[in-house]
Amino acid sequence: QKEVEQNSGPLSVPEGAIASLNCTYSDRGSQSFFWYRQYSGKSPELIMFIYSNGDKEDGRFTAQLNKASQYVSLLIRDSQPSDSATYLCAVNMMTGAGSYQLTFGKGTKLSVIP
Amino acid sequence: EPEVTQTPSHQVTQMGQEVILRCVPISNHLYFYWYRQILGQKVEFLVSFYNNEISEKSEIFDDQFSVERPDGSNFTLKIRSTKLEDSAMYFCASSSPQGMPQETQYFGPGTRLLVL
């Protein structure tokens, strides 16, 4: 069974702090990795994607990928109360049929305290 | 900015009834998907669709489910005989203007289905 694991939280950080969200995945052949944000009752909203080892920065967000450790992380700098949401790690895993299937973790609930 | 749209936003149905959930993917995308999310649980893949046929389906997507692209814009999910456990949020997504299955998927707002 191909899995994506996340700490469910809740993760509480004070406003202005750095929030660090982590994710591990089981399929070593995975090639594309995504972070989505989901507010309660809403659909997943893309935050970032990363394909290569290393860091990728976009504004206050930095995604980090380590394929050897099968580990993806998301850093949110200068956290704001509006960042309070559930963050979903998703990994595009190749199936036995040679196609791809996006597999989600359960999500980490982030709470930014004013 | 183009986005995926879904109708209806909410659907209430009786057990055993058929429901059709509708989606309009982003116009230049080539891959289309359905996911579901039972309340409090993770987002689960149901099916992917490319070049007018199913390219992948999960164990959840049994004979009660079917998908169709009836015209150039709509993509539908049909549940033939709904069960109580089909109650969930159903998300449509689309991706791949380049035709690559690994590309970013963009999600619609979802249809909340309640089976009574």
From residue A51, how far is each of A37, B48, B104 by CA, in Å?
Answer: 18, 21, 11
d(CA B68, CA B56): 14
Mean pLDDT throughout A41-68?
95
What pLDDT digit, counting tens, does each position of A72-82 carry?
999 999 999 99
The pLDDT value recorded for residue A97 is: 65
Residue A101 has its nearest CB partner, among B56, B91, B108, at B56
Is the per-residue pLDDT at A39 higher than 70?
A: yes
Q: How confident is the model at residue A2 (pLDDT cuts 50, 70, 90)?
A: confident
d(CA B101, CA B99): 6
Report chain B residues whose CB lies below 8 A from the CB of A92. Answer: 101-102
Report chain B residues whose CB lies below 8 A from the CB of A109. Answer: none
Q: Is the dihedral of CA A105, A10, A54, A57 positive or negative?
A: positive
Distance from CA of A37 to the nearest CA of B (A): 11
From residue A90, how far is each of A1, A5, A11, B100 by CA, in Å?
Answer: 15, 10, 19, 17
Mutate to test the interface with B, among A101, A106, A108, A109 (most CBs of B within 10 A): A101
Q: Length of chain A, please? A: 114
What pLDDT digit, counting tens, does each position of B72-105 carry?
789 999 999 999 999 999 999 998 766 666 688 9
Distance from CA of B97 to the nearest CA of A (A): 16
DSSP state of B3: -
Residue-by-residue pLDDT tens, chain B, 116 positions:
789 999 999 999 999 999 999 999 998 888 899 999 999 999 999 999 988 899 889 999 999 999 999 887 899 999 999 999 999 999 999 987 666 666 889 999 999 999 99
B interface with A, Cβ–Cβ < 8 A, is 33, 41-45, 48, 55-56, 58, 89, 91, 101-110
Which residues lie closer than 8 Å to A112 by C-beta, 6 or more apart?
A12, A13, A14, A15, A17, A19, A79, A80, A81, A82, A83, A84
Which residues lie closer than 8 Å to A53 by C-beta, 6 or more apart?
A65, A66, A67, A68
